Amino acid sequence: MTLEQLRGFVEVARTGHFTRAAERLHLAQPSLSRQIAALEAGLGVDVIHRARGNISLTAAGERLLPIARRMLADAAAAQ
């Protein structure tokens, strides 16, 4: 799990869209999708449910979101 993966996850959760999140992060959408896939592989669970262009957080994603936000805030404070 990397901070970049967590940033991507938090932004997808915030915007509700991979494309919008990628634009806000100045990434190509496939790159962001790979980051999320790597995050999910590392955790061993899906954090985002993808269905017909719509996304929602899974139960694991809902649990991860506040933790990810805290980790990103802590990392920013440490810099």
Residue-by-residue DSSP string for the chain: --HHHHHHHHHHHHHS-HHHHHHHTT--HHHHHHHHHHHHHHHTS--EEEETTEEEE-HHHHHHHHHHHHHHHHHHHH-
The β-bridge partners of 48 are 57
Tell me, what CATH number does 24's domain have? Answer: 1.10.10.10
* Whole-structure pTM value: 0.92
Q: Could you list the residue range(s) of the whole structural domain that residue 66 is in?
A: 3-78
If one counts the domains in the chain, the total is: 1
For residue range 16-48, list pLDDT tens digits in order.
Answer: 999 999 999 999 999 999 999 999 999 999 999
